[in-house]
A and B are shown apart, each in its own frame.
Chain A
Amino acid sequence: MYSYSDFDEAFVRARVAQFTHQVERRLDGSLTEDEFRPLRLMNGLYLQLHAYMLRVAIPYGTLSSHQMRQLAMIADTYDKGYGHFTTRQNIQFNWPKLPDVPAILGALADVEMHAIQTSGNTVRNVTADHFAGAAADEIADPRPYAELLRQWSTDHPEFQFLPRKFKIAITGSPNDRAVTRAHDIGLRMVRNAAGEPGFEVMVGGGLGRTPMIGVTVRDFLPEADLLPYVEAVLSVYNTLGRRDNKYKARIKITVRETGATEITRMVEERFTELRPLFGGNDLKLLEDIRAAFAPPAFRNAPTDAFDAFHKADPVFRAWADTNLAQHRHAQYAIVTISLKAHGETPGDASSAQMRLMADLAEKYGHNDLRISHEQNVILPHVHKSDLPSLHAALATAGLATANVGLLSDIIACPGMDYCALATARSIPVAQELATHFEALKLEHEIGPLKIKISGCINACGHHHVGHIGILGLDRAGVENYQITLGGDGTETAVIGDKTGPGFAYTEIIPAIERILRAYLGLRLEAGETFLQAFRRVGMEPFKLALYGGEGAQDAA
């Protein structure tokens, strides 16, 4: 795992000291709120509906046990004993008090963490495949590149005042688990004809009020060119991006207004200028970083215990069949710990749960934890013989829910229960969907399904790329939920289509049930997933199920 260099350490400590003084000056009246707001946002501190919220970056979603324990300590000491993991692999604390925030940032710095650039018009936390370094289908671990991008983008003087925020996602696998096509820059590792690794570079993806799938500006970028190429994209965007209109300021609009061909030409031209200026230092740094991400020393031991438990224990089998993914080492498995127990808040973990996960990662998982954009926690390297003990330990803390990839594994943004921007609630909709279908015992019958819920048009809940997307809006002073179908966040990314008029809060659960009962009725066989069935039959059968035959509309 990457450890801070002296430079990193000094930089983060200096920022904590600086912000400590800024908070003091705000509290004694030397700074007005207008002066203070941009300073606190630079350090991840928002003022939300009921309280302040601190957003802490978890670079490329990777945490050590030591860091996870510190997050638990912060939750207990300065918050209400829990944290919320987000779709950008961050953690948010929902109840910090302003005078305590400098101490929290100091506690984060103690474990090489910070909240820098988790807000503002800068390059945000670089996200990565949560199975990085472990997945069987991976070409190379994407995290060294993500760390290189983190170092380069942190406090980069040219990119602190971009036209708008900028999100980069990277995956080392051709199978995209990092939603790269919905990012300002998406990097997907591929091999060229000679078998060399490089990146497909996608630019101008994004969700929000104008959802777009990124366009490929380079089919194959040699890995050695990564940093100058990304800088070239940022540089072109920084010049062309619209600062006159906040809603047209993201690079997705720049790409559409300029044209993919012209943007590509400009990026390539800028890249030609920049490439020689890097002088090889980027590659030297990458080599150093890469050493920090060397794979753990995998154990060679029998896996009989796993096989025996799998055969004998149906509860363990159900969990293993849904929550494990294929590791590149045949004796190992990738474990997804579901933070989606039925009826609980998606992405929330109590401090006790954080500590248990930290302990289990230390005991069984080479000290490695990941946060997925799907708001779960991953133990990427667990020997199969340890899985029965791990499962038993997780079950003691409500962390053994066997639902990964199923209906109740819902992404939900904080919505109007916390967020000042939200137009409706999302958490209770997720909770009710999970408990409703649990009571009907339909979840396993329905099979693989991604439901994603956002509480406003900004789409933090990725609803556009949910197989079923739910968007909460304020329609004439009442919560109203719009449904989209057929979205896909993988390498075959698609923005979902709206079904039609939205549904009231009390109508949204029955509406989703009508969609899923229609699916169960029309699928060709149990193995045809919801998304496959939707692609085969299209929108009409689902519209009929939702609104009836004569276009009767039972909601606003």
Chain B
Amino acid sequence: MSRRFTPKIVTANLLREGDVVYLTADDRWSHHHHEAELIDDEAHAQMRLLHAAAQKLLVVGAYLADAKAGPKGPEPTHFREEFRTRGPSNYNHGKQADHAS
């Protein structure tokens, strides 16, 4: 029995800075989750992941993460990915400070 494909986004960390980034539909790496390309086709997801993984001088550790459509764009579905969109909870550091949208 085939299960319905859970929509995905492609995410990684920047090689130099380590920042969390998301692959957009127009091939940019954005700091904002809602700008990511929401992928609802498994084959396309694999193609996009390969495309991301090939950018060895830009990003590290690209992977597919579950996401869902929201009013502003894709939203994370798991708390780990939600934390990655913000930064740590003990200080106002990371994205929540540097890339507040």
Contacts and interface: CB of A to CB of B under 8 A. Distances in A.
A51 B94 contact: yes
Contacts of A431: 90
Contacts of B77: 477
Contacts, number: 75
Interface string A6-40: 00000000000000000000110100110000000
Given A345-B90, A417-B89, A49 B15 contact: no
Residue among B19, B88, B95 with the highest chain A CB neighbour number at 10 A: B88
Given A416-B80, A479-B79, A97 B17 contact: yes
B73 interface: no
A50 interface: yes
A27 B56 CA distance: 9
Given A33-B56, A95-B93, A416-B83, A47 B88 contact: no
A27 to B, nearest CB: 7
A428 B89 contact: yes
B83 A27 contact: no
Main DSSP-derived SS at the B contact region? loop
A203 B95 CA distance: 44
Residue among A49, A348, A416 with the highest chain B CB neighbour number at 10 A: A49
B4 interface: no
B87 interface: yes
Nearest to B88: A417
B61 A47 contact: yes
Contacts of B88: 50, 94, 417-418, 427
B16 A417 contact: no
A420 to B, nearest CB: 9
Q: What is the interface residue range for chain B against chain A?
A: 20 to 34
Contacts of A427: 88-90
Contacts of B17: 51, 97-98
Contacts of B90: 345, 348, 417, 427-428, 431
Q: What is the interface residue range for chain A against chain B?
A: 20 to 34
B16 A47 contact: no
Contact of A52 (B18, B87, B89): B18
Contacts of B94: 50-51
Interface in B67-101: 77-80, 83-84, 87-91, 93-95
B16 to A, nearest CB: 5
A351 to B, nearest CB: 14
A256 interface: no
A98 B56 contact: no
Interface string B13-45: 101111110000000000000000000000000
B56 A50 contact: no
Contacts of B57: 27, 29
A292 interface: no
Interface string B48-64: 00000000110011000
Contacts of B60: 33, 47
Nearest to B57: A29
Residue among A32, A48, A51, A94 with the highest chain B CB neighbour number at 10 A: A51
Contacts of A478: 79
Nearest to A98: B16
Contacts of A48: 18
B20 A50 contact: yes
Interface of B: 13, 15-20, 56-57, 60-61, 77-80, 83-84, 87-91, 93-95
13 contacts: A48-B18, A49-B20, A49-B80, A49-B84, A50-B93, A51-B17, A52-B18, A94-B88, A98-B18, A416-B83, A417-B89, A427-B88, A474-B79
Given A98-B16, A477-B79, 19 more contacts: A27-B57, A33-B56, A47-B61, A49-B83, A49-B84, A50-B20, A50-B93, A50-B94, A50-B95, A51-B18, A80-B91, A95-B18, A98-B17, A98-B18, A348-B90, A416-B80, A425-B83, A427-B88, A477-B78
Ranked 5 nearest A-B pairs via Cβ: A417-B88, A51-B18, A52-B18, A50-B94, A345-B90
